[in-house]
Structure 1
Amino acid sequence: MRSDEQREIEPLRKADKPTAQKPAVRVKELSERDRRRLLMHFLALDRDDRLLRFGSVLPDELVTRYAQMLDFSRDTVFGVYDDNLRLLGVGHLAFADRESMPALRDATDKSRIAEFGVSVASHARGLGIGSKLFERAAIHCRNEDIDTLYMHCLSSNATMIHIARKAGMEIQRAYGEADAYLKLLPASPATMLQEAVEEQVATLDFTVKANTKAAAKWWRRFPGFKKRA
């Protein structure tokens, strides 16, 4: 019989395999050095996308303030980069004291609860980026000894509702808004290994993309390069 660790890690191995239609999605943990690209991603969201991501149509000034106020030492932010090092999707995992969320106070004995928010560029939808960001966030929560993952969104946010249902989250709707939460299993050696491997692969993928972009920029400095191209 297979062990619990094998049963936990096999679905993610299958999900990580690229198909002919969809490329592999590499989720990387972001840091202070990614703040400018985060800002560009959020500013590129149109009116409807800002409504779905933030719950209201924030002007550029407030979007900029949001990006500037992200605290990487407190929260965890994940991203998916394209070949040009533009963020296609961002998942923000914010941690809060259980007492600050009365509705979920009885849902856990842990001291903290995690809230997840996600945004995906309009041209990158349908690639499974939102789901992969959620999966990575859930694994991270388990490894951080958090057993309750919470999402708040508009009831009209079909993408978030789909992700919540796919993950088996309990969804409650009221007054045009939806709250969803998921009880997570404890961490295991499999989840620890999984997150470490995924981060290493994503970091390597980012490094290759960055070096390729830098090399292309360097070659363009040579006389006649554009003409030959």
Structure 2
Amino acid sequence: MSKTTARAKEPIALPDRVLSAAGLAPVLVRELSENDRERLLAHFLCLEEDDRLLRFGQVVPDHVIENYVRTIDFNRDTVFGVFNRKLELVGVAHLAYLPAEDGQRTAEFGVSVVESARGEGIGTKLFERAAIRSRNTHVSTLYMHCLSRNKTMMHIARKAGMRIEHAYGEADAYLTLAPADQSSILKEMLEEQAAAFDYALKRQAQQTSTLLESLLPAAELAA
């Protein structure tokens, strides 16, 4: 890419113990796979019209969303998600790898967060996770395109120190990424392990709850 891009700022993150003391659970981002396609569909279909406009640049009907989710290539692109305790996707980021230009790789970042989970830093955490993956897969520029009135995306872009260009009510943001190093590789590995462990705990809790609910009628009859 011939355009001059901004250099990434180091994100400021509070330690988990500080978040726990404040009563806030850390946002854990898990890489999604083919097995999560139905949950992805449920996530996007629950978005209201204005949220669909901000995410896709237009108010897309259900059948367009269904086609989009069905055609996501998990072998080519990377998709990240944040789950709530019910194992519902409350935040999703799609990292799409664009064709290389002059030997430089670019990835495009798109994000959506359900209304009930906003204000918790989920969008920022998804961006940070996508930036680490981009670095570790030799991407030199992280790119975002959105409507200029998309406050969430604009906040993420400014916080990351991205160079932002505005035109006709739309915005393009660019961030030059540092090359991968041992720190970035280790950070990504540890974050994925933590998210996978958290997901397993939530799934076990859900299965236990379902089992107890199924046994409750029998216990009531016995009483």
TM-score, normalising length: structure 1: 0.87
Aligned residues: 212
Give the Cα separation in 2 of the matches to 1:32 and 1:11: 32
Distance 1:96 1:31, change over 3 A: same
> Residues 175, 16 of structure 1: CA spacing in aligned structure 2 closer, same or farther, 3 A cutoff?
farther
Q: Could you tell which deviates more after superposition, 217-226 or 38-47?
A: 217-226
Letter in 1 for 2:149: S
The match for 2:45 among 40, 43, 46 is 43
Greater relative contact order (Cα 8 A, min sep 6): structure 1 or 2? 2
How far is the alpha carbon of 1:220 from its aligned partner? 1.4
Residue 15 of structure 2 corresponds to 14
- State the partner residue of 2:59: 57
How many angstroms does 1:111 deviate by?
Answer: 3.6
Match of 1:81 in 2: 83
Partner of 2:195: 202
Unmatched 5+ residue regions in structure 1?
1-7, 100-108
| Conservation of the 8 A alpha-carbon contact between 1:16 and 1:24 | no
Whichever residue aligns with residue 196 of structure 1, its letter is M
Q: Which residue in 1 is equivalent to 2:152?
A: 159
Q: 1:69 aligns with which of 48, 68, 71?
A: 71
- Aligned mates of 1:143, 1:16 — CA distance in 2: 27
Alignment CA distance shift 1:37-1:85 (3 Å): same
**Structure 1, residues 190-212: CA drift from partner, whole Å, max 9, x if none?**
10000000000000000000011
Q: Deviations over 1:151-195 (max 9, x none)?
A: 000001011000000000000000000000100111110100000
Gapped regions of structure 2 (runs ≥ 5): 1-8
For structure 1, which segment, 68-77 or 10-19, has the greater mean C-alpha deviation from structure 2 after superposition? 10-19
2:26 to 8, 24, 27: 24
Distance apart, 1:21 and its partner CA:
4.7
Task: Pick from 206, 212, 218 the counterpart of residue 219 of structure 1.
Answer: 212
From 168, 180, 188, give the equivalent of 1:175.
Answer: 168
Opposite residue 14 of structure 1, the aligned amino acid is P
- Structure 2 SS opposite 1:119: strand
- 1:135 CA drift (Å): 0.2
1:128–1:194: structure 2 CA closer, same or farther, 3 Å change rule? same
Over 3 Å counting, the alpha-carbon distance change for 1:17 and 1:58 in structure 2 is farther
| CA separation of 1:10 and 1:47: change in aligned 2, threshold 3 A | closer
Distance change in 2, residues 1:61/1:72 (3 Å): same
Q: Which 4+ stretches in 1 moved above 6 angstroms? A: none
The amino acid across from 1:195 in the alignment is E
Distance change (3 Å), C-alpha of 1:96 and 1:15? farther
CA shift in 2, pair 1:152/1:9, >3 Å: closer
CA separation in 2, counterparts of 1:225 and 1:53?
47
Q: Is the 8 A contact 1:9 1:191 kept in 2?
A: no
Q: Normalising by the residue count of structure 2, what TM-score does the alignment of the two structures yield? A: 0.89
Instruction: Tell me the amino acid that sits aligned with residue 63 of structure 1.
Output: I
Pair 1:147 & 2:148 matched: no
Residue pair 1:9, 1:194 contacting (<8 A) in 2 also = no
Query: CA–CA distance in 2 between the matches of 1:178 and 1:52?
Result: 12
